Chain A
Amino acid sequence: MRQAEDLILRDYVVSAASVINAGGGSNNDNPTNLGVSDFSLVASTLDTNNAYKFMSGIEGMDRFGTGPVRSAYFMLSSTELQTDFDGLTGQGFLSQWNYPTNASALPSEYGSVFNIRILTSSEAPVARASSANGQDVYYNTVLGKQAITHINQDGYSMNLIYRDPYYSGMLAQNATLAVKFAQSQAITQDTAIRNLLSTRLASLGV
């Protein structure tokens, strides 16, 4: 039931935060697919704006196939971009499986590129067929710790409501199952958040 809150916050961020178009990719669209320089640009922008990173780094260990992970901002991306991230292996992308330790990795974490750790979700925002060349545009939200917040008004968080049929109608035929919540969202520091817009290089599976 928390998904409803997440979707509202997602669309609010898409509407209210400023954007940077990816230009480091090779597909000649606007925005382009993600290139490693786009990750550098956004991280540099947030660093310049004194945003707080979410995660401290992971020190390297003597384990085959692993590498150290920098302190990082989070980027919220679509699962449809995972093939593009894999394509950046060797250029800067480090799969979560190749972290020295997975202790601090989140379940949805796909990997990292330089100072950005990537979380993927099928619910990430996509504007279909809307790039310059008519391709899908992905909103990759990169944020520092102080960027956004979520307020339960009057402490009124998500309530799951169940009324059995006896209480839901005169004829006791139907039950009621619902959720309700009173919440608002806020960008607490606009300089600490950017939507990195990109298209996709790889074909989408069906």
Chain B
Amino acid sequence: MTEYSRMAKGTYTQLGGTLGSVAPNVQVINLPFKPDYVELINLTQAITPAQHGIPFAYWDATSLVTIGGVVYNPTIIQIFNNTPVLTTDSVLTNGISVFSGGLSQQYGATQQIIGITKASQARVNVTAHGYSVGDTVILQGIATSVTNNAFRLINNVPFTIVAVSDANHFDINWNTSQSNYTAISASPTGALVKKVLYPFLYLPEDNVISAITTGSTTTIANTMYHNFEVGQEVAFRIPTAFGTTQLNSLPNNVIPGSPIYAYVTSITDNWTFVVNVNSTSYTAFNTNPSSVSVGFTMPQVLSVGDVNTGGNIITATSPLYPSPQFPTSTNRVSTINGPAIRGAFVNNTAQGFIIGNGASHTDTTSWVGGSTNDVIEWRAYLHDYSSP
């Protein structure tokens, strides 16, 4: 029964984590299928036994256990005790799991927002949020019953988290340290946050602008990863309330009907880029409205033209088939796609499995991802026959 089974294997070097004390980074493995069985060999831990090391791990989609009335799909592990001798344990949550980011938006669980402070990058307080830098979230139910609190603007806007100060706080790229913002506190009813599980299915995407610095060139900060490359042609949609409407592609007061576009000249970071517009005389960008009525539209920047980021140039030093990589500044990750046509948008739908950073059940300071610089071999299978 192997006609339609699929198998894949590979290795990676772990980033982040310290044996027995700090959880490793989450590792995402993209595959051309969604496996039903995954096994890991931590070569580093297997060769050098030490307490808290997990040299072998196994996960099966159909293996479920019930503990305390809760059903888990655990990752079964072999782990070194303090001798160190190999014994067994499990990771009940956030061990190995599979994912499929395809059509439409999918969200994680909603969590109650306790408060949001006024800061140049708003700090959101959520108990044990579990988010990491680079995760994209949306907020809702923020100051929805009043019109005089500018915090209302941040509802239903995708934010890629810029910093995680601790397990209960994370920062988003919106300046709330302004006069018309009243801090959110005391866990307002309906104030919720949830993770957008696969926020960048098609790239580059329509972005919400959080700040504009005018000058001889113009710097654009966004609420989430912009995913633009240098040379990208972009258009602006800035409602009057936000000020800098001179950037808008239309109407063009000089040549009616001819859209005004800009080009990305440099990438500052994953949230910020610079365009070739001399905006010295333009109206200042304003995210401090005294009143926010319903039906407002946020300022946006989007890619246009034929120089999108879908294709990478093949050079003497590049891979022969370079996959597009996102985001476009740091922590770049290849998509599963092959070399795209220059000028195409990238279809970033993906599936595969995730090696999470959940601690093991008995030894609570061990993680299946190991510690930084561990070399881990993985094998993934999709069986065409499974019982059950």
In residues 27-65 of chain A, which contact B (Cβ within 8 Å)? 28-32, 48-50
B104 lies within 8 A of A125 (CB): yes
B192 lies within 8 A of A134 (CB): yes
- Known: A15-B202, A132-B144, A132-B156. Is A21-B295 also a contact (CB below 8 A)? yes
- Known: A18-B302, A48-B250, A132-B156. Is A23-B296 also a contact (CB below 8 A)? yes
A49 lies within 8 A of B156 (CB): no
Residue B123 is within 8 A (CB to CB) of chain A in the complex: no
Alpha-carbon distance A169/B1, docked complex (angstroms): 11
A191 lies within 8 A of B259 (CB): yes
Residue A7 is within 8 A (CB to CB) of chain B in the complex: yes
B103 lies within 8 A of A21 (CB): no
A30 lies within 8 A of B202 (CB): no
Out of B138, B141, B202, name the residue touching A16 (CB < 8 Å): B202
B3 lies within 8 A of A174 (CB): yes
Alpha-carbon distance A17/B192, docked complex (angstroms): 27
B331 to chain A, nearest CB (A): 21
Which of chain A's residues have a CB closer than 8 A to the CB of B257?
49-50
Out of B138, B156, B237, B250, name the residue touching A30 (CB < 8 Å): B156
Residue B374 is within 8 A (CB to CB) of chain A in the complex: no
A30 to chain B, nearest CB (A): 5
Residue B190 is within 8 A (CB to CB) of chain A in the complex: yes
B295 lies within 8 A of A24 (CB): yes
Number of A-B contacts (CB under 8 A): 126
Interface string of B172-209 (1 = CB under 8 A from A): 00000000000000000010100000001111111000
Residue B244 is within 8 A (CB to CB) of chain A in the complex: no
Which of chain B's residues have a CB closer than 8 A to the CB of A129?
107, 110
- Known: A30-B156, A132-B141, A187-B304. Is A169-B341 also a contact (CB below 8 A)? no
Which of chain A's residues have a CB closer than 8 A to the CB of B237?
18
Most-contacted residue by chain B among A25, A50, A132 (CB, 10 A) = A132
Residue B373 is within 8 A (CB to CB) of chain A in the complex: no
A interface vs B, CB < 8 Å? 7-8, 10-12, 15-25, 28-32, 48-50, 125-134, 137, 153, 168-171, 173-174, 184-187, 190-191
